Amino acid sequence: MIELSVLRPDDWPVWRVLRLAALAEAPYAFGSTLAEWQGQGDREERWRARLAIPGSHNVVAVREGEPVGMASGVPAEQPDAVELISMWVSPAVRGKGVGDLLIGEIARWTVQTGVKTLRLSVMPDNRAAIALYERHGFKDTGEPGDLLPDGVRRELVMAKDLNPA
């Protein structure tokens, strides 16, 4: 059984373990690198600050006492929007609905805060993630995402309208 838990800044060790695992296992999926979060970047105050982003909602999925996935909702640059970031599910539980639960929780929280749009950016060649997001009603916005390190391609920006009407 998968349970979801909301993290606070004091829970930074749990976030740290998951984030480092995500960056090591799926470096192609994130704008950050493992090297940026290790060594000098691996500081308690940095991990705490990540979980203390004003207006954020940080969630982990736990199976049998072990964290197996994570996602965050943070205020977006666009008014009346939340951005889904740091989404990752351990390979051991992929295909078992963990991603669905995480997206559902961030969407639920977004609506609860009164926001009607959930946005995200995804690497354009991450077909599994794109399929998951499309299954949840996210659509390509057509907006140019951040430029990727190759200097040519851009992240794919997707959004979902959460308006119940």
Rg, the chain, Cα only: 15
For 106, the enclosing helix (H) or strand (E) is helix 98-112
Of residues 120, 114, 154, the one with CA closest to residue 134: 120
Ramachandran assignment for 55, one of left (phi > 0), alpha (psi -120 to 50 degrees), beta (any other): left
Average pLDDT over residues 103-108: 97
- Phi, psi for residue 42 in degrees, rounded to 5: -95, 80
What's the pTM?
A: 0.93
**pLDDT band, very low/low/confident/very high, at 165 (cuts 50, 70, 90):** low
Q: Is 24 exposed, middle or buried (0-12, 13-18, 19+ CB in 10 A)?
A: exposed
Q: What is the pLDDT of residues 30-59, one digit of tens each?
A: 888 898 999 888 999 999 999 999 999 999
Poorest-pLDDT segment among 4-8, 28-32, 136-140, 161-165: 161-165
Tokens representing residue 52 in the block: 């203390």
Go through the domains of the chain in sequence order and give each one's CATH number: 2-161 (3.40.630.30)
The answer to whether residue 146 scores a pLDDT higher than 90 is no
